[in-house]
Structure formats: structure tokens, C-alpha cells
């Protein structure tokens, strides 16, 4: 009944497909950021890019071939043109042909793919090793080859940009929204960097598109990847956590600053300082004032050995106590006298506690302390945070296995722990009135 329409429909169908195809081709021809892979800056990334384009064009060719035939048939062999149907229904020879040819095409794709894969997986002969640890929801970096630099990297996009629920309090979204961190990973160009990747709680994945690297960070196991950024491609590269790791999966970006080899050596020699933007500070190391921070960092290094997996088993606690964090303790003890000498005032503790709270705890317990019902308990009026100090210090030090509440014993110094506990007890709507000192925390370690 709708014969007259059929022609039009076929035209529409082909118009749509032509549109789709041409938009695809057109956009890839431009190959801008935003349509295709980011511009590769390592050899492997370039290989992947080329491989990707090769298989893409093969697929386009197959697609055009197959559907060229189909649409030809749709236009020509239609009842409205009184085309009488043929009756053939099988042919062994064509079946064989269209089994063998695709197979050969596949072999043609598999060869370059195998070559690239073998190259990617070869992590030997590296110049530098970095250990990368995924946490909910931040990254920890430890430089392994004796330089002992170690730090965490957290999202630095302000909460006001993220929370757009209420237009009055929200601020405008910035250019590097969700792709900026308080500290960048600093790596040299022209050297083969090997990364050992693991995680502390759930699976994450460390991904820098421009480097052509992506590997899962799996608790209890270590994965390896490597990259070697071309000389001349120094700059800042950004990536993401690419494995669902819970609520803030979208909020644990990766920022890598690539510097020249010389700059890198200078940076490591200076103890790995950062400027306010979170990039490498390449000034004279003698002037570096941040002794405390350096200590925190060293405490973190030892986590390489502690690395208790905060998943579900009760057995984990044994690991914590099995003395693998001796080093951490000795490092921390070295600074304790200084802390004990002057008991911190409530004001000081609250001030530094707030900072710690916002960076370490607010992702879960929320900036207001309200938590998220059923997922993260509220700190406000929490029985633990308003009860005796012992269990409070205990849960923050040791976490709670099987939940997202992580052990902060090796992530934070006694000072910071004391500060944040004091803060939780006397802010966020709580007013217990007592003060927890670094010594109290040290005593519970």
C-alpha cells in the first residue's frame, strides 16, 4: 500500500548511512583531539595509533564493500521494480571464498598486532622504576631506584566546580576539570620508565592515553608497564583511573609532568619538591623548608613493604602486625621528640586537622561530616567520633577491613592523625572538647 514511499525510504536509509560514514571519515581525517586518540608521545603509543588506524581502515573497507552490495541489491532487486526473484539458495564455492578471504584479512591484522604487543610487554632494560599504588580515590607514587621520593596525588578540582546541584554555590568549570591533581608524577623524557602497579583496596587502572599505557592495579599483585616519552615532548599529560573503583572512580585523575633528563636528575637530587601548582620545583634543594613533608613522604615509601590489602579477610590484620612496617615506625619515631616537645593547641590541631580532613576523609565522610547513609557513616554525632578516644584513633589508624575505611597508619604522620581526630571530635557538628596529641597516636601504633 505504501509503494510510493518505498523509494523515498531507501533514499533516506542511504542518506543516513552516507551521512554517518562521511561524518566518521571526515572527522577522522581531521584527527583532532576529541575525535580520535590523543597525539601519541611515545613509540609504543605511535605504534598503537598506526595499528588502530590500519584496522580501522580495513574495517571501513569491509563495511563499504559489504553494504555497497547490499544497498545496490536493495535499490535494484525490489518488487516495486517488478524484479522477479531468483531461486538460487546455496553455493559451496562462494561459502569457501568468503570464509577464506576474511581469514586472510585477519592474518594480515594479527601480524602487526603481535609485533606491537610483544614490544609493549617487554619491560626489561628500564632506566627508572616507579611504583604506582591505587587507593580509593587517589594515587600513590614511590620512586624505587634509591631516590626514595614518595607522595600521593589527589584530585585538586575544587568541590564547588563539581557540585552543580545548586547554581548559587557552584562555580564555573575550569579547563582541566577533573584532570588536575595536587601533585604530578614527574618523569624524564628519553628514558625507559618502568612502572610497577598495584592497589591497596579495590582494582583501579592507571591510564595515560598519550603514552599508550593502561594497566590494572590489582590489590596483592603487581603489574608492569613501561613508557619512554620522546625527547622534545616534555610537558603535562593527563589520564584517568580506568577501572570502576567505587563512588569516586571519576575523581582520581592522573597528571604526569614530563621533564628533561637533566631536570629530572636535578629534581630527584633536590628531594622531589613541588611548586604550588603541583609540578616539579627545580630550585636548590638546600633551601627546601618542608622537613615535615619529607618525613611523611618517607613514611609512605615503606608502604611498599607493608601494603596490606584492605579487602575482606580478617587475616589481613596479621600482616599489619607482622612488623613489615618497622621502617615506617623508625622513620616516624625520629620526629616524635620534636612533636612531643610542644603539645599542639586545640586551635592548631583544628586548623591542620581541617586540611587533612578535606584532603583525606571528605571524599567519603563529606565535607560537612554528614557521610552518605548506608555507605559512609556520618562523623557528625558518630558514636565513635564522639565516644572515647581509643576506638576513634584505632579505626583511623587501622581502618576497618572489608569496608572502604582504609588504614591511615602509614599514610599520615602522628601529627596529622592527631589533628584530624581532634578535628572530627570538635568540628563537623561535634564538640567533645578533648584534644588528641601526636603522642596519643604514637602510643597506639
Residues at the site binding ligand HEC, with contacts judged by CB under 6 A: 136, 360-361, 363-365, 376-377, 382-385, 392, 395-396, 400, 403-406, 408, 420, 424
Q: How far is the CB of 237 from other proteins (least distance, A)?
A: 11
Nearer to ligand CUA by Cβ, of 225 and 441: the residue is 225
Given 21, 53, 74, 105, the residue binding ligand HEA (CB under 6 A)? 105
Q: How far is the CB of 145 from ligand HEC (least distance, A)?
A: 30
Q: At what angle do helices 414-426 and 346-356 cross, to 10 degrees?
A: 100
Nearer to other proteins by Cβ, of 144 and 336: the residue is 144
What is residue 187's three-state secondary structure? strand
Nearest residue to 274 via CA among 396, 362, 391, 183:
183
In angstroms, rounded to a whole number, what is the distance separating the alpha carbons of residues 265 and 112?
A: 36
Of 188-217, which residues contact ligand CUA (CB under 6 A)?
Answer: 204
Question: Which residues are bridge partners to 204 per DSSP?
Answer: 217
Partner in contact with 57, chosen from other proteins, ligand HEA, ligand CUA, none, beta carbon below 5 to 8 Å by kind: none
Nearer to ligand CUA by Cβ, of 137 and 423: the residue is 137
* Interaction mask 226-245, ligand CUA, x per CB under 6 A: ---------------x-xxx
Maximum alpha-carbon separation in the chain: 100
**Do the strands 128-135 and 193-199 form a parallel or antiparallel pair, or are they unpaired?**
parallel
In angstroms, rounded to a whole number, what is the distance separating the alpha carbons of residues 428 and 422?
A: 11
In angstroms, rounded to a whole number, what is the distance separating the alpha carbons of residues 152 and 255?
A: 12
**Do the strands 204-208 and 213-217 form a parallel or antiparallel pair, or are they unpaired?**
antiparallel
Q: How far is the CB of 427 from ligand HEC (least distance, A)?
A: 12
Measured CA distances, 412 to 139, 242, 299, 418, 420 (Å): 15, 26, 8, 10, 10
In angstroms, rounded to a whole number, what is the distance separating the alpha carbons of residues 396 and 382?
A: 14
In angstroms, rounded to a whole number, what is the distance separating the alpha carbons of residues 252 and 248?
A: 7
Q: How far is the CB of 193 from ligand CUA (least distance, A)?
A: 21
Measured CA distances, 51 to 30, 46, 311 (Å): 18, 8, 38
Please tell me whether residue 110 binds ligand HEA under the rule CB under 6 A: no
* Interaction mask 42-81, ligand HEA, x per CB under 6 A: --------------------x---x---------------
Q: What cell does 34 get?
A: 576529541
Nearest residue to 312 via CA among 383, 219, 221:
219
Q: How far is the CB of 417 from ligand CUA (least distance, A)?
A: 24
Nearer to ligand CUA by Cβ, of 196 and 350: the residue is 196
Q: How far is the CB of 87 from ligand CUA (least distance, A)?
A: 58
Partner in contact with 134, chosen from ligand HEA, ligand CUA, other proteins, none, beta carbon below 5 to 8 Å by kind: ligand CUA
Q: How far is the CB of 248 from ligand CUA (least distance, A)?
A: 8
Binding site residues, ligand HEA, CB under 6 A: 62, 66, 102, 105-106
Binding site residues, ligand CUA, CB under 6 A: 134, 137, 204, 241, 243-245, 249, 252
Amino acid at each position: 500500500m505504501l509503494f510510493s514511499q518505498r523509494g523515498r525510504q531507501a533514499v533516506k536509509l542511504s542518506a543516513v548511512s552516507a551521512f554517518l560514514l562521511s561524518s566518521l571519515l571526515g572527522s577522522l581525517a581531521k584527527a583532532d583531539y576529541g575525535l580520535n586518540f590523543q597525539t601519541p608521545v611515545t613509540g609504543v603509543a605511535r605504534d598503537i595509533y598506526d595499528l588502530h588506524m590500519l584496522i580501522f581502515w580495513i574495517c571501513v573497507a569491509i563495511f563499504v564493500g559489504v553494504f555497497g552490495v547490499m544497498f545496490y541489491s536493495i535499490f535494484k532487486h525490489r518488487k516495486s521494480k517488478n524484479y522477479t526473484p531468483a531461486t538460487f539458495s546455496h553455493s559451496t564455492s562462494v561459502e569457501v571464498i568468503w570464509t577464506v578471504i576474511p581469514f586472510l584479512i585477519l592474518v594480515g591484522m594479527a601480524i602487526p598486532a603481535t609485533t606491537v604487543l610483544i614490544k609493549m610487554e617487554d619491560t626489561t632494560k628500564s632506566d627508572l622504576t616507579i611504583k604506582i599504588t591505587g587507593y580509593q580515590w587517589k594515587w600513590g607514587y614511590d620512586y624505587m631506584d634509591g631516590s626514595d621520593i614518595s607522595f600521593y596525588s589527589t584530585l585538586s578540582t575544587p568541590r564547588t566546580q563539581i557540585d552543580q546541584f545548586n547554581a548559587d554555590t557552584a562555580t564555573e568549570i575550569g579547563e582541566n576539570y577533573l584532570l588536575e591533581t595536587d601533585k604530578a608524577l614527574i618523569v624524564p623524557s628519553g628514558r625507559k620508565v618502568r612502572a610497577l602497579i598495584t592497589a591497596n583496596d579495590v582494582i583501579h587502572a592507571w591510564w595515560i592515553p598519550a603514552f599508550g599505557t593502561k594497566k590494572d592495579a590489582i590489590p596483592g599483585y603487581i603489574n608492569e608497564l613501561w613508557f619512554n616519552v620522546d625527547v622534545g615532548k616534555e610537558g603535562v599529560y593527563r589520564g584517568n583511573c580506568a577501572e570502576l573503583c567505587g563512588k569516586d572512580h571519576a575523581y582520581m585523575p592522573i597528571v604526569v609532568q614530563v621533564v628533561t633528563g637533566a631536570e629530572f636528575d636535578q629534581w630527584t637530587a633536590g628531594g622531589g619538591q613541588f611548586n604550588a601548582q603541583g609540578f616539579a620545583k627545580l630550585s636548590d634543594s638546600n633551601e627546601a623548608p618542608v622537613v615535615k613533608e619529607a618525613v611523611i613522604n618517607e613514611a609512605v615509601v615503606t608502604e611498599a613493604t607493608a601494603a596490606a590489602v584492605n579487602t575482606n579477610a580478617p587475616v589481613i590484620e596479621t600482616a599489619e602486625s607482622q612488623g613489615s612496617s618497622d621502617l615506617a615506625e623508625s622513620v616516624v619515631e625520629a620526629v616524635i621528640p620534636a612533636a612531643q616537645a610542644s603539645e599542639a593547641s586545640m586551635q592548631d590541631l583544628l586548623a591542620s586537622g581541617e586540611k587533612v580532613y578535606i584532603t583525606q576523609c571528605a571524599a567519603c565522610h563529606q565535607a560537612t561530616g554528614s557521610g552518605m547513609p548506608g555507605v559512609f557513616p556520618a562523623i557528625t554525632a558518630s558514636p565513635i567520633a564522639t565516644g572515647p578516644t581509643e576506638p576513634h584513633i584505632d579505626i583511623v589508624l587501622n581502618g576497618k577491613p572489608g569496608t572502604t575505611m582504609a588504614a591511615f597508619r602509614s599514610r599520615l604522620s602522628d601529627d596529622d592523625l592527631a589533628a584530624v581526630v581532634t578535628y572530627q571530635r570538635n568540628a563537623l557538628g561535634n564538640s567533645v572538647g578533648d584534644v588528641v596529641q601526636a603522642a596519643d597516636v604514637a602510643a597506639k601504633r
